[in-house]
Structure 1
Amino acid sequence: MTAIAAIVAGDIIETGDAPISIINPANEELIVELPEADADTVDRAVAAARRSFDEGVWRTMPVEKRQAILRKCGDVIDAAVDRLADIECSNTGIPLSQIGTRQVSRAAENFRFFADYIGQNVGELYEQNPDYLTMVRREPVGVAALISPWNSPIALGSMKIASSIAFGNSCVLKPSEQAPLGISLLVSLLGDAGIPEGVVNLVNGRGMTTGDRLIRNPDVNVVTFTGGTETGRIIMRTAGEHLKPATVELGGKSANIIFDDADFEQALDGALLGIFSNNGQQCLAGSRILVQRGIAKRFVEAFIARAEAIRIGDPRDPATELGPLVSQRHMQHVMSFVPDAGSADRVLTGGRRMPGFDKGYYFEPTLVETTNDSRIAQEEIFGPFAAFIVFDTDEEAYHIANQSRFGLVSYVWSQSIARIMEAQERIEASIVWCNTPMMRELRAPFGGYKDSGVGADGGKACEAFYTRQKTVSIPRRPLTLRKLGLAN
């Protein structure tokens, strides 16, 4: 496998600074030593993006032609689904069956969605003033720095690329150094769709070096990041020092509220999907499972039985439902939340490194009974590890759900429309999924409240971030102006 430090204006750069070891989490074997893009390479990538923007080949291209190229990007991704899924599986440990059908297909859809969107967006016209027509246009901002996460690299990285370039910008993407291989391959393929050179560039490396250099480059106009909350604070601070707008989609500790009148089987299926999909490594996981007391015993028994039956193993096996965690370091982080024998928190199932594997970062599906003020319920674990909390009244459920520094998503299960409507008003989260596991409506904003982020993705949200407003006023008829400096 070719080690790529950067892709700059279509050129692949294979040399760089201190190499980063990319490990297959399923077998702990070295996949490749990835060279880190040095400062000169980062600056070169930004310069290529700036040059492509200033020359205007992409931003001045007729919308219909830009749409056709974006749709072609989707076709190119579809044609490479097996290659992309294979490398993503090796790099992340996500089951191969989930990558092809969910993440790679989502990447293709991202480009097609924004192709459709830019064909429908409109400006504004104000006619109230009898002497003037005033129109508001939107123009691309310039060069976007895109920093994508390791948990869904292809799906989330492609969202950043598609949304930024659709409006005429150029970009430089820095993937997470833990899982850069799939999205690096995707970027290398986009030239086949007809995107002009320099519009999409990529630099690989660590956040504290490559990422920091990218954000600070004066030719970068906006910054977007998806990842951990503490890193998000650093990025916001750095971008703010240079007066650069930034959006950050960060962590979550989402409440999954199951009322006693819920469709039991649907809620059970949804709770399992909400915490164990993507190997449990997702910011929108329903990691706090709140169950009303009347059904709590039955629900927990059913949840445990299903969790213990989840098929764990080689992510390339079509039968596998849960693969390994992404790295040894992350597995140690997840294991640090397992309560000791004398703890008030009680392990109901799991809580161990999965037995039977000589290699690989496999961790058992875990459920711990706890209270909402515990570390397990308040900190993001980011693994197949759920906190189980019993509540009595609806009011108590809302109080527990909102007692969190995070506010990304929430789930509500009830067959009462009145209860659903009350819940969606009372819960302090940016997204509330009612009687459904996670779904994504690309037209709607996806972001977070509180420590879960600033700004959002989605059609209008991305248009607002990746474009800037220009107000143009034109007289309706010749004006009679005051004549300064003329004698009476």
Structure 2
Amino acid sequence: MDDHHASIDGVRVDLRHWIGGERIASARTFADVSPIDEQEIARVAAGGATEVDAAVAAARAAFPAWRALPVAERSAILHRVADGIEARLEDLATVETRDNGSLLRSHRRGVMPRVALNFRAFADYAEKQLGHPDLSVRGHRERITYDPAGVVAIITPWNAPLMLATWRIGPALAAGNTVVVKPPEWAPLTASLLADIMHAAGVPAGVFNVVQGTGAEAGTPLTAHPGINRLAFTGSVPTAGVIARAAAPNIVPLSFELGGKSPLLVFADADLELAVGIAVEQFDNAGQVCLKAARMLVHSSIADEFTNRLVERTAQLTQGDPRDEATDQSALIARRHFEQVSGFVDRALADRARALIGGGPNTELGGLYYRPTVLVDVKPGAEILTEEVFGPVVTVETFDDEDDAVARANDTRFGLAATVVTTDRTRAERVSHALNAGTVWVNCFFVRDLEAPFGGNGKSGIGREGGAWSFDFYCDVKNSVFSPNGWQQHG
């Protein structure tokens, strides 16, 4: 391989930026390390202010022509992008698994098909949403139009880099905007493959751009750039604060999807098999999921049985190489994150919490593999209950009545999601209404139509995206009022 490409488990990946329809190298590079074995797999072009300026300029230059395309033509191009994703699904799955350590089988069966759907669904929905019917008031005609905002900056996370990027890229492009993406430095490679797919699908030069690099060197100049018109970010609360301060002087509208400390409420009448199944799902992707229910609140009358079943099911999870079909849980993303997760658990144990299973690294595998962990006897207000661990760690607490369960579920600065398990429909309605969360699942988990709103309350984010909410964000909504009077007669 030459200096500008790497072979990732047999898939050729270009390591340069994608700016203005061309591959652009940088003088500097950064190491991309796979969490599977902590081995360097690529040296990726490291961008900075120069590359960001070039990408924003290319996006601004491409904007008028892309905006002018009829919605149906833009949608047709995005459907071709989805076709390209489906044609290269195995390549995308292979590269992302090696890059961020998530399960290959999950990518094949769920994640990459969803990536294609992010383009198809918003391409189709744009044709409905962007054609608003005229209104009438006192004989005047009011025309509501959705004008694309301009250049959208999208900064994506490492836990599901391609899926969470395209969840924003799809509606932004469908609405007629152009895009500059900064992929995560810990898992940047599938963004480069997406650029190839975009180009092959006929996306015009400059409409989609990728600038790789660290948050400090590439992310900071992008968030502060006066040439961007919208900024979407998924990541941590502290980073969101930095981004908000950088974007503030330019009065750029922001969409933030941040962390969570979501509760799972299991009532005495719950289907225990269903409840335990949902609980075990929280270990998916090594617990590196913003929506995961890390705090399990279980009615005291069933707590012992629930906990015993949870420990039994957790013990059956297979940890190892994510490329193996039999693996249920892989490694954490990076050494720094591994140490953060370990620190949370170590401090909880030192404060007399008990680990019923797990509680430390998987010494048989070494590296970044941390055992799925169930903690009990955690003191009220303890750090492990209030801070997002973002690893394979859950806590189990008990409650005696509904009011107490809701109060404790809401006792958090976050408000991203919550899950309720009960067979009492009246209780389900009452509790879901009382919970402070952007999404509440009842007797299910991780189910959502792309036309439904998604986002969090409190420290879990700003705004909502999905369906009409995405187009509200990525567009400037205009009302043009036409009087019935004062017209010259022509012809």
Partner of 2:148: 140
Q: Deviations over 1:121-167 (max 9, x none)?
A: 1325332223x222221100000000010000011011111111110
Question: Quick one: which of 222, 227, 231 aligns to 2:230?
Answer: 222
Matches within 5 A, 1:154-169: 154-169=162-177
Partner of 2:138: 129
2:110 maps to 1:102: yes
2:388 maps to 1:380: yes
Partner of 2:479: 471
Q: Is the 8 A contact 1:372 1:400 kept in 2?
A: no
The answer for unaligned runs of 5 or more in structure 2 is 1-5, 7-12
Partner of 1:300: 307
Aligned residue identity for 2:90? D
How much does 1:33 deviate?
1.7
2:35 maps to 1:28: no
Partner of 2:430: 422
Question: Quick one: which of 6, 17, 29 aligns to 1:6?
Answer: 17
Aligned residue identity for 2:17? A
> Matches of 2:442 and 2:242 in 1, distance apart?
34
Aligned residue identity for 2:79? R
Partner of 1:407: 415
Aligned residue identity for 1:441? D
How much does 1:371 deviate?
3.8
2:103 maps to 1:68: no
SS at the partner of 1:470?
strand
2:283 maps to 1:276: yes
Q: Is the 8 A contact 1:252 1:380 kept in 2?
A: yes
2:451 maps to 1:440: no
> Matches of 1:372 and 1:231 in 2, distance apart?
27
Question: Quick one: which of 149, 157, 165 aligns to 2:157?
Answer: 149
SS at the partner of 1:120?
helix
Choose 369-378 or 392-401, whichever is displaced more.
369-378
> Matches of 2:16 and 2:267 in 1, distance apart?
50
Task: Give TM-score, length-normalised by structure 2.
Answer: 0.94
How much does 1:3 deviate?
5.5
2:374 maps to 1:367: yes
SS at the partner of 2:478?
strand
List structure 1 runs of 4+ shifted beyond 6 angstroms: none
Q: Deviations over 1:19-65 (max 9, x none)?
A: 321111111111012221122111111111000003x2x21112222
2:92 maps to 1:84: yes
Aligned residue identity for 1:237? R
Q: How many residues align?
A: 474
Q: Is the 8 A contact 1:36 1:206 kept in 2?
A: yes
Give the RMSD, CA atoms, in angstroms. Answer: 1.4
Change (3 A) 1:354 1:367: same
> Matches of 1:123 and 1:100 in 2, distance apart?
37
Aligned residue identity for 2:134? L
> Matches of 2:380 and 2:159 in 1, distance apart?
26
Q: Is the 8 A contact 1:253 1:288 kept in 2?
A: yes
How much does 1:457 deviate?
1.6
SS at the partner of 1:319?
coil
Q: Is the 8 A contact 1:413 1:434 kept in 2?
A: yes
Question: Quick one: which of 352, 362, 368 aligns to 1:354?
Answer: 362
2:320 maps to 1:313: yes
Q: Is the 8 A contact 2:86 2:113 kept in 1?
A: yes
Partner of 2:191: 183
Q: Is the 8 A contact 2:71 2:174 kept in 1?
A: no
- Give the % identical residues: 35
Task: Give TM-score, length-normalised by structure 1.
Answer: 0.95
SS at the partner of 1:291?
strand
> Matches of 1:124 and 1:174 in 2, distance apart?
36
2:270 maps to 1:262: yes
